[in-house]
Chain A
Amino acid sequence: MAANKKEKLSPAKRKALMRRSIPIYIMALPGLLYLFINNYMPMPGIILAFKNYNAKKGIYGSPWAGTKNFKYLFSTQDAFVITRNTICYNVAFIIINLIFAVGVAIILSEITSKAKKFYQSTILLPYLLSAVIVSYLVYAFLSSENGFINNSILIPLGKEPISWYQDKRPWPFILVFVNLWKGIGYNCIIYLSTILGFDRSYYEAAAIDGATKWQQISKITLPLLRPTIIMLTLMAVGRIFYSDFGLFYQVPQNSGALYSVTNTIDTYVYRGLLELGDITMSAAAGVYQSLVGFVLVLAANLTVRKLDPDSALF
């Protein structure tokens, strides 16, 4: 992208380029429309976060509420816990998912047998399951009375069974593992397709010069993959203030004993507003998450630009 800027095009050339791109713009149109309808048109709704909404008066006629709607997010000691959980889990997810996704993508790209399609589909399958189903799969392992781990592993080994849904210590690991298991197939798709798009002649040349597989991976695949890694990581950083609601709400079976390690901003908002059904307060949570996400993307991009200008998004 940065390279484009450096090229100076003559006006005539630019016009020709534009004309040639028209079909591409048309192809992009449905996607842009979708983006506009879904992401831009609701933006005036942000105003709700600062209103005392009343249906009789309408959104614009409702009285202003100042920052009252935001207060509940910061008012208690929970504020620290939910912010910590949201950010720490997401940082862990970003790092671990990145390592495993790239690893699996490289392994898959090296497999040439027909079984490759099978492996890929198998790895992708958990991603397609709903969080509720995943939560019951986990439950089948962890249930105190009938769970696999207690009944088939711990008891035969002569160990004390564990009340998994009341003991918060293992949950950070369980959640990271479940997230990895569920998301890895999807996360590695983009890396895999990027790798498959690399020019094979690099590898052939390297093989002729006697490079081992490991050298090929570390000297060719990973450097070529870097822009993709940076881009996807930046996008993930932008969502660092959002959490996968299904993972944090369904998988721990909404067990109160685990809140201190499973409560994130999304689950906190959900639990608190379930009874109130207050639109303005949930809008406030949305605005807060978007703002922090926005700032984080800018900051992350700035850092990348300092370190490696070519890889920055903008």
Chain B
Amino acid sequence: MKKKLALLLAGIMTLSLLTACGGGSSAPAAEAPAAEAEAEAEAPAAEGGEEAAAPAASDAAAEAAAARIESGDFPTVVIAYMNFAGQPAGMQRISEKMSEITREKLGINVELMIMDSASYRQNMNLMLASGEQVDLFSGLVGFMPSVNKGYLYDLEEDGLLQTYGQGLIDAFTETELNGCRVNGTLYGIPVKKDDAAGLFGISIPQEYLDAIGYDYASKYEEGSDIIYTDLDEIEVILGQLKEQYPDKTTFYIDPTSIVSQCLEVDRIGGDVFGVLADPANSLEISNLFESQPYLDLVHRMYKWNQMGFFSKDAITETQATTVQVKAGSLCAYKTATKPGIKQQESNLCGMPVIIFQCGPDFKSSSTYNSMPWCMNQNTEDPIAAMQVLNEMYTNPDLATLLCWGEEGVEWVETEDGHITFPEGVDAQNSEYYNNVNWELGNQFIARIWEGDDLTIWERMQEFNDNAPASKAMGFTWDNSEYSTEYTALANVYDEYQKQIELGFVDPDVAIPEMVERLNAAGLQEYMQAKQDAIDAWAAATQQ
């Protein structure tokens, strides 16, 4: 099965390689519009001085656009991203609406390509390998693997970003952009989202708390919609919930995000094999599984499991937590908090929830390169692609179209300045309702949907700015040289993770066993490699 797939893939790639080579060499020469050549001639002039003055850069960008509009030969830029429902019915229409804006301003057509999350990675890998046209895409395809496979365009090649992406430079700080640099090369643009996370949030429907007589109203701090507490208090609440609702599962914690959303450790490179256990102060890589926060967590889960808070089938559970709550089978679950979380979780659960938070806010080093926007390395017209990307991040009309669809069809303005569904349209029958705005570049400049606070993005910005950040911010871990160790480690961890972290086995017995096997699989070497890389990075950046 795997072999067949691999060979098929290889075959497709062989074929496409031939076609791509043929197309690649001839197409630009034959089809490149005069405008592009002109623009390219202009580019070196603009970046002549390293600190090319902004006016010069915007001149070059404007000229490129003007030349394209004059020639009437509009290139098409294909934008790909993923949602959870697959291609929406209104995709063509929204593409056309977006093109109306970009045609007028930049002389470029855009075309959306939307895939569902299950197939996004696979489809994108095939398209990137086979040379099919896709110019800009969400890095949810896997940022570091894509860098290693050479799929991504160097965004600063010939001063591309400086000349045509000034808006992107303005939208982010240097640290944020550095998060998408690998060995000094910029391969992506971060998205505007919740960069920090409030750790160990617990969400419980208000109705259940009322039933056990819990007085949440008095617990709020001034001006906050999150109750800050600790796990001991949660334990008491869960115990009462268990008594009140013996037929429901009391608590569930999604095992895929348990470490990232509960512990204040920086998972360097997004994997758990070697983390910064004291990320705010130290760049020392240590073994997560022997760190005190992790041991405390798993002992707590073991205790909770003994107390009967978990379903006996928790290990094989595949339904999303919010779906379980909606179905009435679950009382409480873990989430990561951020401004607006109460509204978000209430929407997802279909009933008002109360949010507790038991950990601090924290910003990990992998936050910026978790889903950056990237450019395909064999995109035909990098200048056009960069200009579209720039527009996506700076033009509120374009951002709103991309996030929410067309005015009057997918949304209408309310009296207080929010937007909402028009008469007769809802989440089910809307032709463009993705609910993945966190993925779509700059949601901060798009319109705000009813239910969210109009100041949500200012609050979000404040949250992002104020959260304690990892010291390794801006460091990216490239594990391509250690893929053998990584594969072996991932397999061992997979075997133990759910049993240990959902408290089905005694951690005092299981953790030493797992650590021994991880060490045999090369954990120490892998951690050492991380340490060396991070030391080298620290030495280079502190100069």
| Interface residue ranges, A against B (CB under 8 Å) | 38-39, 41-46, 48, 53-60, 68, 71-72, 75-78, 139, 143-146, 163, 165-166, 242, 244-245, 253-257, 259-260, 263, 265-266, 268-279, 281-283, 285-287, 289-290
* CB-based contact B151/A43 at 8 Å: no
* CB-based contact A256/B1 at 8 Å: no
A selection of 28 A-B contacts at a CB cut-off of 8 Å is A38-B8, A39-B7, A42-B10, A42-B12, A44-B14, A45-B10, A45-B11, A46-B7, A48-B10, A54-B150, A55-B128, A57-B150, A71-B484, A72-B487, A77-B517, A78-B492, A139-B316, A145-B311, A145-B313, A245-B1, A253-B316, A255-B315, A263-B491, A266-B1, A269-B2, A276-B145, A277-B142, A285-B6
User: Taking the complex as formed, is B486 at the interface, i.e. its CB lies under 8 A from any CB of chain A?
Assistant: yes
Instruction: Report the number of A-B residue pairs with Cβ-Cβ less than 8 Å.
Output: 173
Instruction: A39-B7, A256-B495, A279-B13 given; name 12 further pairs at CB < 8 Å.
Output: A42-B12, A48-B6, A54-B150, A60-B17, A256-B497, A256-B499, A257-B495, A271-B490, A273-B487, A277-B121, A278-B483, A282-B5
Interface of chain B residues 492 through 507 with chain A (CB within 8 A): 492, 494-499, 504
Contacts of A38 in B (CB 8 A): 8
User: Taking the complex as formed, is B312 at the interface, i.e. its CB lies under 8 A from any CB of chain A?
Assistant: yes
* CB-based contact B488/A78 at 8 Å: yes
| Interface residue ranges, B against A (CB under 8 Å) | 1-15, 17, 21, 121, 125, 128-129, 142, 145, 148-151, 271, 311-313, 315-316, 318, 377-378, 483-488, 490-492, 494-499, 504, 517, 520-522
* CB-based contact B3/A42 at 8 Å: no
Given contacts A55-B149, A245-B2, A285-B3, A268 and B13 within 8 Å (CB-CB): no
B21, B128, B491, B499: the one contacting A268 at CB < 8 Å is: B491
* CB-based contact A272/B487 at 8 Å: yes
Bound-state CA distance A272–B142 (Å) is 15
Bound-state CA distance A139–B150 (Å) is 42
A244, A268, A283: the one contacting B10 at CB < 8 Å is: A283
* CB-based contact B14/A77 at 8 Å: no
The residue of chain B having its C-beta at the shortest distance from the C-beta of A70 within the complex is: B484
* CB-based contact B316/A55 at 8 Å: no
Contacts of B504 in A (CB 8 A): 166, 257
The residue of chain B having its C-beta at the shortest distance from the C-beta of A269 within the complex is: B2
Q: Per DSSP, are chain B's interface residues mostly helix, strand or loop, or mixed?
A: helix
A46, A242, A257: the one contacting B1 at CB < 8 Å is: A242
Bound-state CA distance A287–B13 (Å) is 17
The residue of chain A having its C-beta at the shortest distance from the C-beta of B312 within the complex is: A144
Contacts of B491 in A (CB 8 A): 76, 78, 259, 263, 268, 271-272
Bound-state CA distance A274–B149 (Å) is 15
Given contacts A257-B315, A286-B6, A75 and B522 within 8 Å (CB-CB): yes
Contacts of B2 in A (CB 8 A): 242, 245, 265-266, 269-270, 282, 285-286, 289
B6, B313, B495, B496: the one contacting A282 at CB < 8 Å is: B6
Q: How far is the CB of A137 from chain B (nearest CB, A)?
A: 14
Contacts of A263 in B (CB 8 A): 491, 495
A68, A144, A279: the one contacting B313 at CB < 8 Å is: A144
Q: How far is the CB of B289 from chain A (nearest CB, A)?
A: 15
Q: How far is the CB of B374 from chain A (nearest CB, A)?
A: 12
Bound-state CA distance A287–B7 (Å) is 9
Contacts of B517 in A (CB 8 A): 77
Bound-state CA distance A163–B305 (Å) is 14
The residue of chain B having its C-beta at the shortest distance from the C-beta of A135 within the complex is: B316
Q: How far is the CB of B444 from chain A (nearest CB, A)?
A: 30
Q: How far is the CB of A247 from chain B (nearest CB, A)?
A: 10
